[in-house]
Copies of this chain bind each other. A is one copy, B any other.
């Protein structure tokens, strides 16, 4: 069902391309395939995106901005609250558009082939901000005595892998909601980091988190 106006037709085109790239890979998808599935002729597709790599870049930019939107810190939060809030936002975003996250990950090793140096730099800059956020939160928790000593660099990379990697199996209609999965991940990590025994048992996700897993087994 093609839509009435240009803006939503462009969105539709992007959604179709995202699904095709996720399923067949960017390299394995031709502009003709995109045009066929969206029901437009190729000239119209090129009106919206002058090249296939510009479609991929739009998917990338939105995925990177979505991940960056999960990075929202409130100075009044403890490190555990901030890590949990990041995880909820990130997984909610992935569950809403797992194909976009899939394209992002699947094409990552090859983006220098498709993108200009400036485009690659823009993407890398956003990735660095996400890593630095998670890394910084773990360091903040260590510095304040909230967390055990650990290699915050390695744990930040591991936790980003654990959370972002969920695009492989996280689905909007899955058995557990994105928020429940975020609570499971955060609880496991934070119970492993938090020093204070009563906080660990009773509120590893921070005082505001009203999630049944938080108290489970305590």
- A residues in contact (CB < 8 Å) with B: 22-25, 27-28, 102, 106, 109-110, 113, 148-151, 154-155, 157-159, 161-163, 165-166, 168-169, 176, 180-181, 184-185, 187-193, 195, 197, 213, 216-218
Instruction: Specify the main secondary structure of chain A where it touches its partner.
Output: helix
Q: Which B residues touch A187, using CB under 8 A? A: 150, 192
- Nearest-CB distance from A129 to chain B (Å)? 17
Closest 8 CB pairs of A and B: A192-B192, A161-B165, A149-B217, A191-B192, A148-B217, A162-B162, A188-B192, A27-B27
Identical chains bound together, number: 2
- Cβ-closest chain B residue relative to A147: B217
B185 and A24 form a contact (CB under 8 A): no
Alpha-carbon separation in the docked complex, A181 to B153 (Å): 10
